[in-house]
């Protein structure tokens, strides 16, 4: 029996999505994207999950799209493939819980897009990131959406125009990666971060994640309107009342979510 292309594992309140097609360099084929979409729906429907880790089997986090599905494909096939990929990326953004990419090796093209789309990224020292489509005549336009929102525009354009890989250390320097650790510490470091995130109120984090991305793409006055509305909504949550009370009373909070 064939192994699932995407595994869904649990560690307490943390869900772990595992890209499980190493023989194809964990390419984001239509089948893998569909499996990812299915697993994300399962996560969205489970209120006990408070954080998600995305990792991969093998030395490649993801090599991007399966080029065999792109070359010679009809227009409607191409359109549906890139729409599916975009929908998966946006599902990660809209998910109420934070998503952490655990990148052990190579993340290229749509694989780099997947890492950049996640809310946080922890990388092994030997990990590399690239948008190399220009080298094969297929500019990484959809990966550019996520990458250009994670790193400064000039650096994003350099990655896109040259196709050259950047190291984990450089990815951390430009803001694509939050933290770089030795390979043997990667899973433990990612899990520790996920557990820290999961220790907060789920309702508060969900509201905060939504507001963060909503305000990110607008001008400053509109951003303050969005943030102020979020603060008002947040202040009315039972967990805000509990958390403030616990702080004032010098005790540990007991979250309802």
Rounded mean pLDDT of 52-65?
98
Rounded mean pLDDT of 147-162?
98
53 forms bridges with which residues in the sheet? 16, 100
Rounded mean pLDDT of 110-137?
98
DSSP per position, 60-76: EEE--S-HHHHTT--HH
Rounded mean pLDDT of 240-255?
97
Torsion angle of C-alpha atoms 147, 149, 152, 156, degrees rounded to 10: 20
Domains of the chain (ranges plus CATH)? Answer: 6-198 (3.90.226.10), 202-248 (1.10.12)
| Mean pLDDT estimate for the chain | 97
Q: Can you give the pLDDT at residue 1? A: 60
16, exposed or middle or buried, with CB in 10 Å at 0-12, 13-18, 19+? buried
In this structure, what are the phi and psi dihedrals at residue 70, rounded to the nearest 5 degrees? -95, -45
Sequence-separated (6 or more) residues with CB below 8 Å from residue 251: none
pTM of the complete model: 0.96
CB-CB contact of 116 with 146 (8 Å): yes
- Give ∠ CA 37-42-46 in degrees, rounded to 5: 145
pLDDT above 70: percentage of residues in the chain = 100
Is the pLDDT score of 217 beyond 90? no
- pLDDT tens track for 84-106: 999 999 999 999 999 999 999 99
Q: What are 106's two structure tokens?
A: 């190579």
Give CA–CA dist 45/24, Å, rounded: 30
pLDDT above 90: percentage of residues in the chain = 98
- pLDDT tens track for 181-193: 999 999 999 999 9
- Confidence label for 52 from pLDDT (cuts 50, 70 and 90): very high
Q: Can you give the pLDDT at residue 62? A: 98
């Amino acid at each position: 029996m064939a192994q699932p292309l995407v595994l869904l594992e649990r560690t307490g309140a943390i869900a772990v999505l595992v890209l499980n097609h190493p023989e194809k360099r964990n390419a984001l084929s239509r089948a893998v994207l569909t499996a990812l979409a299915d697993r994300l729906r399962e996560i969205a429907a489970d209120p006990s999950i408070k954080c998600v880790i995305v990792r991969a089997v093998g030395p490649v986090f993801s090599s991007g799209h399966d080029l065999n599905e792109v070359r010679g494909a009809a227009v409607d096939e191409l359109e549906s493939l890139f729409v599916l990929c975009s929908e998966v990326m946006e599902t990660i953004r809209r998910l109420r819980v934070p998503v952490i990419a655990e990148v052990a090796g190579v993340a290229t093209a749509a694989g780099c897009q997947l890492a950049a789309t996640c809310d946080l990224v922890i990388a092994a020292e030997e990990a590399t990131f690239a948008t190399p489509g220009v080298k094969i005549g297929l500019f990484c336009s959809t990966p550019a959406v996520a990458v250009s929102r994670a790193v400064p525009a000039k650096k994003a354009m350099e990655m896109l125009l040259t196709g050259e890989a950047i190291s984990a250390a450089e990815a951390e320097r430009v803001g694509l990666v939050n933290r770089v650790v030795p390979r043997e510490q990667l899973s433990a470091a990612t899990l520790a971060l996920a557990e820290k995130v999961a220790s907060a109120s789920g309702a508060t984090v969900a509201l905060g994640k939504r507001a963060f991305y909503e305000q990110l793409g607008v001008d400053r006055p509109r951003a303050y309107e969005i943030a102020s509305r979020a603060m008002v909504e947040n202040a009315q949550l039972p967990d805000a009342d509990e958390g403030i009370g616990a702080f004032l009373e010098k005790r540990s909070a007991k979250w309802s979510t």
